[in-house]
Structure 1
Amino acid sequence: MHAITTATADLRAVREQWGDLLAAIERPPAAEWPPRETRSFLDRSAAGDRHADDDLDTARVGRIPLTVREHPAPLNLDALDAALAVERDLFDLADQLAEQIQRPVRYWIGLRGNLTRDEADAVNPARWHLPTHSASVTGRAARPGSRAYGLHWAAVWIEGRVCGEDLDGDLFTSLPPRLLDHAATTAARARRTVERALERDGRTVRLDDPCPWCGGQMVGRTRPGGEPAVTCSTGAGCGAPALLERGRRTWQGAELVGLFGALDAARHRKE
C-alpha cells in the first residue's frame, strides 16, 4: 500500500537526519549554502572514516529523549522547537498504536484465585511500554516507559507496526486503515519539520561565486532527504568535469567536495 511505503520512507528519513537536527540545536543559525548541517556529510565523504567515532557518539546521544535533557541556553531555538515537536508527535503516535493494537500484559489465575503477572510477557523487547503520567492515578512515581529509549526506537517500533511485523504471535494485531493513515500523516509531518529546520526542504539559492570553469551562474538546491546539488547555467558548453543533467553541468552528493575545492581555489586566485 502507498501509505505503508511513504510512512516507512518518512520514518527512516527522520531517523537518518535526527543527529544533524540535534547538532543544529547547539549551533547558532547561519545564512550560508549549503546549510551547515547539510554540508556535514560532505566533510565525512572527504575525510573517510575519520569521523566514525564522532558519528557513534552522536548516535548514542540521539537516543536520549529531548524531554529529559537540559537545554539551559540552546543556540538555535527553531531547531530545538522542531526537535521537540517531532519527538512529541512520534512518542504520542507510538502510545496510540500500543493502546489499540498491542495486547496487554497477561495475568494468570492461580489455584487460590490470585492473579499472577506474566513477567516474561511484560519485558518482551518488542513491547512498547506506555509512560506513567501521574503518581496520584497509578500509585507510583511517573515513568517514561519506552520513551526512555529515545526517538530512534520509537521510529523503528512504529515502522514495525506500519509494516505488519511480528503478527505471527498474539502481541500485535494489524493496523486498521484509519490508524495506518494517521501514522503515515504523522510520519510525513515529522519529516517535513526536520527537513525544514535543516533547510533541506527543496530550496533554491543563486550562489555568489561564478562557475570556476566557464564563469556561468551557479545555482544551489537542497533536496528532501538532505542531498544538495549545484548546477551551472551555461549548459553543455561548460567545460566542468561534471555530468550533464537536463542540459546543465550538475554536482551532487560527494561530487560537491571537488566543486567546493575549485570554488575556494578560484577565490584565492582573485586575492
Structure 2
Amino acid sequence: MHTQHARHHLRVVREHLGDLAAAVHCPPAPVWPPRQLAAHLRALADEQARAERLERTELALVDKRAPANLDAWEAWETVNDLLFDLADEIAAEVQISYVSDDPRLWHYRNSRPQGAHWAAVYVDGRLDAEDTDGFLGMPDWLIAHAAQVAEDCARRTLVTLGLDRRSTAIPGRGCPWCSQELTLHTGPDEPPTVTCPAGPHCQAPVPVDPRTGRRVWDWRHLPALLAALNRQHAA
C-alpha cells in the first residue's frame, strides 16, 4: 500500500514539476480561467507549446531572474530539497554498487545538478524494485517514509498550482445566462468544472447535475463558457 501510494504521488510531482518551475517567474495566476484550460488553449494556438513545456524544468535550473511568485518559489525550493534529501537517504540505505558511471545510481551532491525530476525517477525506481542489480530491497520503514515525503511534495505542488481539490467562486464574473455566481471546481487527476447554482432556472446550454441541481460546464463546455464570459466582460 505504501509503495503504490508513494509512486502515485511521485508521478503527480513529475507531471507538474515543469509547471511549478514556470510559475516561479509568473505572477500568481487568477482564479479564471483555470490553469488547465488556459494551457490547453495556448497549446491549440501554438504547436510548440508541448516542447516548450518539456524544457521548463531545465531552463528554470539556470534561470537567475528574481521570482515573480514567492509562493511558487518557496514550493519549488522545498520540493527540490525534499526529493534530494529522500534520494540521499534511499541511496545510503540500499545502494551497494560502486560503479561510478552507472547511470542508475544516485550520487550524494553530484546527482543534485540533474534536478528534482531525476531524484523522483530514482526514488520511483527503488520503489518499483524491478531492477535490483546493485541495490538492496527497501525496508518497510523507508518505504513508509518515502510515501510521506512524496505525498507532501505532491500536495505542495498541487496547492501552489491551484490543482488541489477546491471549489472557488469566480470573482466578478456572473453567469452569462442568469447572473448567478459561478464556482470553479478543481481536483488532482481530473479536469476542472464550473457550476451555476440556478440549475434549471438558468438557460445555459449545459446539463443540470441531478445530484446537486446545478448547471455544470465540464471540460468540453469550458471553452464556450470562457468565450461567453469574455463577451460579457467586453460589453
TM tier relative to shorter chain:
0.7 to 0.9
Q: Pick closer, same or farther for the CA change 1:174–1:237 going to 2, 3 Å.
A: farther
Q: Does 1:17 align with 2:16?
A: yes
> Equivalents in 2 of 1:220, 1:243: separation in Å?
16
Q: Does 1:162 align with 2:103?
A: no
> What stretches of structure 1 move > 4 A for 4+ residues in a row?
47-50
Q: What's the TM-score once normalised by structure 2's chain length?
A: 0.86
Structure 1 residues 122 and 150: CA distance shift in structure 2, 3 A: same
Q: How high is the sequence identity, in percent, across the aligned residues?
A: 37
**Which residue does 2:178 correspond to in 1?**
214
Shift of 1:228: 2.6
- Structure 2 counterpart SS, 1:253: coil
Partner deviation per Cα, 1:13-59 (whole Å, 9 max, x = no partner)? 111111221111112235x2137xx42x3234335554442332332
Counterpart amino acid of residue 223 in structure 2? V
Question: Which of 93, 96, 104 in structure 2 is aligned with 1:126?
Answer: 104
Alignment-derived partner of residue 118 in structure 1: none
- Unmatched runs of 5 consecutive residues or more in structure 2: none
Matches within 5 A, 1:192-271: 192-207=155-170, 208-225=172-189, 227-245=191-209, 246=211, 247-268=213-234, 271=235
In structure 2, the partner of 1:150 is: 115
Q: CA deviation at 1:188?
A: 0.5
Instruction: State how 1:107-122 maps to structure 2 within 5 Å.
Output: 121-122=99-100
- Provide closer, same or farther for how the CA distance between residues 265 and 154 of structure 1 changes in structure 2, counting only shifts above 3 A: same
Deviation per CA, 1:57-115, whole angstroms, max 9, x where unpaired?
3323414674xx3534211122111101000100110111111111131xxxxxxxxxx
TM-superposition CA deviations, 1:110-151 (whole Å, max 9, x none): xxxxxxxxxxx33222222222xxxxxxxxxxxxx2222211
Contact 1:63 1:151 in 2 (8 A): no
Indicate the SS of the match to 1:222.
strand
Return the offset for 1:253.
3.4
Larger Rg computed on CA atoms: 1
Contact 2:22/2:56 (<8 A) preserved: no
**156 and 52 in structure 1: CA distance in 2 versus 1, 3 angstrom threshold:** farther
Pairing 1:46-61 to 2, within 5 Å after superposition: 46-48=41-43, 50-61=45-56
SS state at 1:219 partner: strand
Aligned equivalents of 1:186 and 1:253: distance in 2? Answer: 31
Preserved contact between residue 88 and residue 108 of structure 2 (Cα < 8 Å): yes
User: Following the alignment from structure 2 to structure 1, what is the Cα–Cα distance between the partners of residues 27 and 232?
Assistant: 28
Give the aligned residue type for 1:258.
A
Contact 1:201 1:224 (C-alpha < 8 Å) held by counterparts: yes
| C-alpha distance in 2 between matches for 1:72 and 1:48 | 25
Mapped contact 1:195–1:225 kept (Cα < 8 A): no
